[in-house]
Amino acid sequence: MTDALTLSGRSVRLARRNVDTLVMSIVLPVLMMLLFVLVLGGAIDTGGAYLTYVVPGIVVLCTGYGASATAMSVTHDMTGGMVDRLRSMPVHASAVLTGHVVASVTRNAVSTTLVVAVAVALGFRPSAGVVEWVLAAGLLLLYVLALSWLAAAFGVVARTVESAGLLSFLMLFLPYLSSAFVPTATMPAFLRGIGEHQPITSVVETVRALLTGAPADRGGVALAWTLGLLVAGVVLASVLFRRRTRA
């Protein structure tokens, strides 16, 4: 635990000093929301205020994209000699993965808070009570943890930081095949099945329902997806890390 806390502090400091990562993880989601709301929102019909519809999708987009940056950080440590140095010390080298995941959660908490604050300034008025906010935050926390561990696993096997960056593109693209920005009913039939049954849609719909006071009918599906991805991410990252660092 001490090793994990120490390396978590290191990863948080590194993330704070990495200007590129901070800008992409914090500023990009705000710019995306402004683009969709102010430029495209008037042309998209969701049956209500588009700002209310799109904010949960932007939040899930920014958490997924922010978590994917973990892959590049892990690859940098794997290929830059940091892990080898830790193996020569009385330190659990695997704690470096925990450190990167904690930094990802911290970074995403900041970006999510900023996105919601800007949305409120634009007129977003969620009707959620304290319980609904806690449930939405809890689901987003599990989602970030799951994606961060999956990103850590990807970072372990990636051979270069550039190749690890491919995960960021994937996480930026996938939300467009969900109900994050438009209802899945408006998609072509061959995409509608993907959009309706992928995990991002379940998470977005659940967060949207919790914030707007609608019934969270897909809450169980979203929780199952998130917990399943979290377990898969932790197991994959641990197994792959042991194999990669085996003497």
Summarised one tens digit per residue, pLDDT across range 125-178 is 888 888 999 999 999 999 999 999 999 898 888 888 878 777 777 777 888 888
Tokens of 153: 């696993």
What integer pLDDT is reported at residue 66 of this predicted model?
78
| CA gap 78, 96 in Å, rounded | 10
Tokens of 165: 């960056």
- Predicted model pTM: 0.86
pLDDT class of 15 with cuts at 50, 70, 90: low
What integer pLDDT is reported at residue 230 of this predicted model?
94
What integer pLDDT is reported at residue 163 of this predicted model?
81
Whether 247 shows a pLDDT value over 60: the answer reads no
Mean pLDDT of the chain: 82
What integer pLDDT is reported at residue 236 of this predicted model?
92
What integer pLDDT is reported at residue 99 of this predicted model?
83
